[in-house]
């Protein structure tokens, strides 16, 4: 029988081979591969070029055993599925997170944790399935969040209610300042009976945007009592708008704490025969796709949602790499975008 001699496979590229080509130490290559920021741009470029030249592929299983890391992080959203998939804000956050993780070897686990299975979510996360967590849209009553922080590095999207107690890492905008800007716009265009549809008052974003609204009106000695609370959904805002118009039919301007809620308010104003911006001017918040998807483009307070997601993921990766210089608070700017509604 004729034996078949197969050509020997070329050796699999190793960290040592990459280090030799790049002219750096094995430890430096390891830091680059693991997404550490503690390397200079020049060294990063040299190692990256060597990795591509050698077609080096990290052995995820070996690295996980050596580092006791799973190379996975979780995005935890304590909301129901309807809210998560219906609000463009979440899509922008996820896009930013994904863009940053694509530059690393970490994968993303999405966990939409509605009120019932939160204990199940906590059990899964604390069982060693992920190395860290990103938490978005948390509420004051989310006790499992505090428990999670004792188990792994956590970064919040938005300031948590007990940020000072937790020593939390978070990325946010100055929600109060953004609300001041949006409310001031209504004053500047001559509106004299201004109301607000707020977000949930068990969330810092809802509280801070309401505070900015009230502070702005009080500064010019205008009444700040035309307020109705909603839940960051269009249907919730529609119900709140009906309540607001029932109590204060003379309202001629409304600051709404999200663009998605503003679409619900616009629908109700149309039902009531109120023109926008003629009878009632509207200012939203987010500058999400919802601001331009309806018949009346919204004037809105823009926040860099995608960049917030990117920054959250970057901070978490830095924490996992042992970076001790990560800031606890990252505050991003807002700006007013003028369109047809105000």
Residue 61, pLDDT > 50, answer: no
Mean pLDDT of 51-64: 65
Q: One fold for both 72-173+305-332 and 175-303? A: yes
3-class SS of residue 246: helix
Domain 15-58, CATH? 1.10.260.40
H helix and E strand count, the chain: 14, 12
Task: With beta carbons less than 8 A apart as the criterion, state whether 195 and 244 touch.
Answer: yes
The answer, yes or no, to whether residue 192 has pLDDT greater than 90, is yes
Residue range 277-311, pLDDT digits in tens: 999 999 999 999 999 988 899 999 999 999 999 99
Of 37-51, 62-76, 133-147, least confident by mean pLDDT is 62-76
Between 80-84, 223-227, 271-275, the lowest mean confidence (pLDDT) is in 80-84
Q: What is the pLDDT of residue 4?
A: 47
Comparing 87 with 60, the larger pLDDT belongs to: 87
Confidence bin at 124 (pLDDT 50/70/90): confident
Given a cut of 60, whether residue 84 has pLDDT beyond it is yes
Q: Where are the domains of the chain?
A: 15-58, 72-173+305-332, 175-303
Give the 3-state secondary structure of 145-181: HHHHHCCCCEEEECCCCCHHHHCCEEEEECHHHHHHH
Using DSSP's 3-state secondary structure scheme, residue 275 falls into coil
CATH class, domain 175-303, is: alpha beta
Correct CATH for 72-173+305-332 of 3.40.190.10, 3.40.50.2300, 3.30.70.1290, 3.90.1300.10: 3.40.50.2300
DSSP state of 138: -
pLDDT tens readout for residues 136-148: 887 776 666 667 7
* Mean pLDDT of the region 16-30: 85
């Amino acid at each position: 029988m004729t034996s078949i001699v197969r050509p020997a496979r070329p050796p699999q590229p190793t960290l040592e081979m990459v280090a030799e080509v790049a002219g750096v130490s094995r430890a430096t290559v390891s830091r680059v591969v693991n997404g550490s920021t503690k390397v200079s741009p020049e060294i990063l470029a040299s190692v990256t070029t060597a990795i591509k030249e050698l077609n080096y592929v990290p052995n995820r299983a070996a690295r996980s055993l050596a580092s006791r890391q799973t190379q996975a992080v979780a995005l935890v959203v304590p909301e129901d599925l309807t809210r998560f998939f219906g609000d463009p804000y979440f899509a922008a956050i996820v896009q930013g997170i994904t863009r940053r993780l694509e530059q690393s070897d970490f994968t993303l686990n999405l966990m939409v944790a509605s009120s019932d299975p939160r204990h199940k979510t906590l059990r899964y996360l604390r069982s060693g399935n992920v190395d860290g967590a990103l938490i978005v849209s948390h509420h004051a009553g989310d006790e499992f969040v505090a428990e999670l922080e004792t188990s792994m590095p956590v970064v919040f999207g938005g300031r948590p209610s007990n940020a000072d107690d937790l020593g939390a890492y978070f990325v946010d905008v100055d929600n109060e300042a953004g609300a001041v800007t949006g409310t001031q716009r209504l004053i500047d265009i001559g509106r004299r009976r201004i109301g607000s549809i707020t977000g949930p008052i068990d969330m810092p974003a809802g509280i801070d945007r309401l505070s900015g609204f009230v502070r702005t009106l009080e500064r010019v000695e205008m009444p700040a009592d035309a307020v109705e609370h909603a839940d960051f959904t269009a249907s919730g805002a529609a119900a709140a708008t009906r309540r607001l118009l029932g109590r204060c039919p003379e309202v001629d301007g409304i600051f709404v704490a999200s663009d998605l809620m503003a679409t619900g308010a616009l629908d109700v104003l149309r039902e009531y025969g109120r023109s926008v911006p003629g009878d009632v001017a509207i200012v939203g918040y987010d500058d999400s796709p919802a601001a331009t998807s309806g018949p009346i483009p919204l004037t809105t307070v823009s926040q860099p949602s995608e960049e917030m997601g990117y920054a959250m993921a970057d901070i978490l990766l830095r924490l996992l790499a042992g970076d001790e210089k990560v800031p606890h608070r990252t505050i991003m700017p807002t700006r007013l975008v003028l369109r047809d509604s105000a």
